[in-house]
Structure 1
């Protein structure tokens, strides 16, 4: 949803319909539109609401109901006001237009997918149904072309040119119209200030890195005095900058900026313990901790009001509190269902690199009573953190533990919270460090729990990057891992998208050997352990071709394996019945393979 600047109105879409709620009297109105509504956003003055339908950007006058098209696509591959696939999938940018502070114009993205190759996602369960066409920018292939325009409510249009491949974000506040762009190789990130009248841009700062430059949410922003709020890697840490000065130490790893209110900045960061994500503020003079307990915290701050969320290992679910202008705290009760599991998790460090590791044991297990088969349950990839100081992070792992496993969750090199150098340890190799760290964590846990884990019965499961890691484990380290369940695995990085893959592995035409060493096909003949591949046939992120091609390579090498295709399922499995039965099938497979 979105609000006006006075927070008197809220606009939202529900099942493609547009609604506006007057927050002063709780009155909600449904507005008539020309089609299914995406991303409605109120103007700051509350007079208009913009939205996208059919790839066109519309603006509706709330007083008169007059609805007009501000920008219409010139062809079927063009959209106005929407983030293109790569921006939404890999840069956390979910929007494609931004209101001016006065509400008289918008900065609008025009995206054209014509250069992007077309892939076809078929539904084998329904052969009469045509395959769905999808524009997918695989590594080394063209991205969508993007342009920016300042479009006035009076119909005026001013182009805002920029040179670099990616538009990572934009912001338009009372101080500046700002855009942030990034080069295709992601080693240069530029912040520009734009003149909305002429479209001319002035470079404010450029961050460079020989590996890659990270994109952080919540910036750019400005304090009341116009000082720039920014986050960048500097002197070994991801640091908060106000103006030209880093105001956080290198030991405090800033995750993102949540809000800027007058002269204060609310942000999240991890200190000595990466499993905790704490709330902090910069008040213009000093750093102040907002959260003081162990856990994972988040929130928002605007107009002197804060909304804070808290997740801990001691309490179930998410606790939400509203902090009013007078300092009064109002808790928002949760209506979420209880998970029905008694969590039994121990978090610590494991292995030579002191990997953040969680050990999840069955609630009924008596320490030292017997050795349990082990189930490694990682994600293990860049920007994906599994080991966190909150209960919700381990519910599925606890369920697997209740089936008779000692479950180990460990975050290796490349996972967030431990600084830029740790993140960049996976440059040019997404396989070796990830696998080494899982082995390291396993052996470290075995030293800590010698009477509770059985290293002769070790399984591994994972989804997406975790699926890649699970398959990799049994292919390259069958001496350690005895069975694997690989869900929606990336098996050849040439088949994954441009932005994510090229960040870590470069361009496939320039470094083919890097892609080969991080992919699985070359290891197919090595398989000697049970492997279950699971893939949704409607997956439009990690397409089913990954699993099908690996299966073909395994078959060509005469290696026995199992494949579970999921008809009508995309990258994740939101269907309750499918998700439940898939968990049961995984347990059955692992117990049979490990003799559990």
Structure 2
């Protein structure tokens, strides 16, 4: 009996100690908390099936599954059988008839979205694998009829004939830093978030593409230190605010005639082409033309035979128009389009003549993703903020705007991939307390049919720790608006004690950091800090997204003013809590968040005692045209909006402790920002800390970099907060 009691006591004590396991930076950034998901999930076009990329033995396989039963049908492709791919594959895409698979291998990144890779064409019938070319290429795409592949190489477009294996040139004038055909330039890729600037017509007869003439765009050069005796450099075209953009033009390539026509856009001056897409009628290419201020968008149909264009409609906004991919053509060449014109992002149905038929969704919430339209049932499937701006809900609705039905089963972050016939969908659910759960669901009722993945291994790893809970709340802005926020308290929180407060934010226009979703890497870092005695808070201030256009666009023309006011006001409000030490409040942010944290320390020196700014914009004059001018217009038009909120101009106000971090190979927010900030601080005779990471880009990662960086930031917090 005494032995049993001793054993019980031993188990209780050891279990308690085990549950107190501390999170470490090594664990976070070596992948200990990595989530599991279905990799490279692709829906086939001609059958009610989907394919995923899975590791099997020492190789990788593309496996096909039935949507209705979730049973594995077959292994379509395995790297073990093809020596060319034994090193692994990065992705794949099916042809429209599902006969061919375009396989990606050996990807080498260029910028945020772009990369070079080797590509192979796999014939699922003959079981033959063919290299498209031995060169590294970009953005190949099969024609809808599967007869040809268009791809980009060294700024030109080419055609690969599937039957003859012959390669022919579509363009020949491409030159680095001068002319780009069919691939976006740096600023389009970064700010309009696409790389492939060409499209096949639905009948495979025509390719529409955008040509970029970068000749007049100023160049930016980054030093590359590398391992050689002498450093090199990388020079590319980067249009800073107020400078010349690439001149864009639109072209139509006739595949049979091997001839190209130019679309007449001479009526426009200094404009963008943020999207092109072929309509359901193969004769017409839809084109979006956006003015430089980005507050007027014209939507055209261009005739592939004549290159003549017809204006279908225009949209204007007092601030700016966000570009999305929510454009879908359906029967009779009608189309579904998203717009913020009623104050929230919603879906609209237009006729082929560009006239509005009806608004599909409406309410004081936002459509955040469009999943598709079922022609048979006349239902539209989408994701939204119907259950609150921090959550994502999956729903369906009639195309007439009636009979809206919620399909997701839990409140949190829900995502979906629908089957080709919209009978089922694969649901991906997670919230702040639940790692991603993947299930097969009925698309009519939304009910789960079968759980595919629970992340049980991750659950077990997380259970080793006494993880602090993320609690959602709201705080007030200076003008009385409710701002979404979350708080993480120490695991042994005692309301009678005083704790230092560490604030995190990003704050950029339309962004969101306060969401009911599973942890990212930084969340584990915040929880680690909470385990060590800090209260961590994140506040999404005015200008952030998913609460309507008015809330998002209130910072227009004055970036960094209201947002900084909100962080300072929130810090002062939180400082009144009995358990927060008002003399120990710090703030951290990366990129736009770094711009914000620097500003908060300088303009809120009475409340913030320390700040960490990673890869910050320190003067908006140094940043690119599309992003900066969208919110501030040009420096020539709005010098005050640029200068009043750039931290580089307020260094004399520095009182607290400041850590400034940047990578020298940051092609996005150039290290120039931090170098100029450093010089300004030096000349103001201000003491501060800084860290420069050689040859690291905007993400500052690679090897031990993240671990070293986060240890540095942790030590800075401990020493100064």
Place the TM-score, normalised by the shorter chain, in its bin.
over 0.9
Change in Cα spacing, 1:273 to 1:326, as seen in structure 2 (3 Å) is closer
Question: Number of residue pairs matched?
Answer: 589
Alignment of 1:198-347 (within 5 A): 198-219=306-327, 221-243=328-350, 244=356, 245-262=358-375, 263-271=378-386, 273-285=388-400, 286=402, 287-301=404-418, 303-305=420-422, 306-317=425-436, 319=438, 321=440, 329=449, 331-333=451-453, 338=458, 340=462, 342=467, 344-347=469-472
The match for 1:498 is 625
1:479-558 → structure 2 map (5 Å cutoff): 479-558=606-685
Q: Which residue of 1 aligns with 2:158?
A: 58
Would you say the 8 A contact 1:357–1:441 is kept in 2?
no
Unmatched 5+ stretches in structure 2: 1-91, 107-116, 351-355
Of residues 477, 481, 484 in structure 2, which corresponds to 1:353? 481
- Contact 2:100–2:124 (8 Å) recurs in 1: yes
Task: Report how far residue 571 of structure 1 moved.
Answer: 0.3
Distance in 1, matches of 2:211 and 2:442, equals 39
- Greater gyration radius: 2
Q: 2:62 maps to which residue?
A: none
Runs of 4+ with >6 A deviation? 322-328, 334-337
Q: Which residue of 2 aligns with 1:371?
A: 498
Partner of 1:71: 171
Higher mean C-alpha deviation, range 227-236 or range 419-428: 227-236
SS across alignment from 2:331: coil
Q: Is the 8 A contact 1:35 1:54 kept in 2?
A: no
Per the TM alignment, residue 322 of structure 1 is displaced from its structure 2 partner at its CA by 7.1
Shift of 1:369: 5.2
- Listed as ranges, the gaps of 5+ residues in structure 1 are none
Select the residue among 268, 271, 276 that pairs with 1:170: 276
Q: 3-state SS of the aligned residue for 1:513?
A: helix
What RMSD in Å do the two structures reach over aligned CA positions? 2.4
Residue pair 1:223, 1:261 contacting (<8 A) in 2 also: no
Query: Could you give the per-residue CA deviations for residues 3-23 of structure 1, whole angstroms, max 9, x where no partner exists?
Result: 322334331322211023456
Q: Secondary structure at the match of 2:542?
A: coil
CA distance in 2, matches of 1:51, 1:337: 41
The structure-2 alpha-carbon separation of the partners of 1:334 and 1:3, relative to structure 1 and needing over 3 Å to count, comes to farther
Q: Describe the shift of the 1:545–1:388 C-alpha distance in structure 2 as closer, same or farther (beyond 3 A).
A: same
Corresponding residue of 1:570: 697
1:310, CA displacement in angstroms?
2.3
Structure 1 residue 522 displacement after superposition:
1.8
Indicate conservation of the 8 Å contact 1:534/1:563, yes or no: yes
* 8 Å CA contact retained: 1:492, 1:519: yes
Counterpart residue number, 2:531 = 402
Relative distance call for 1:54 and 1:326 in structure 2 (3 A) is: farther
Cα distance 1:264–1:239, how it changes in 2: closer, same or farther (>3 A)? Answer: same
Contact 1:235 1:250 in 2 (8 A): no
CA distances 1:23-72 after superposition (whole Å, capped 9, x unpaired): 679x5724141521211212112222222121221222223322222223
Over 3 Å counting, the alpha-carbon distance change for 1:20 and 1:367 in structure 2 is farther
1:33 aligned partner? 133
Q: Partner of 1:144 in structure 2?
A: 246
1:84 and 1:484 mapped to 2: Cα distance?
A: 34
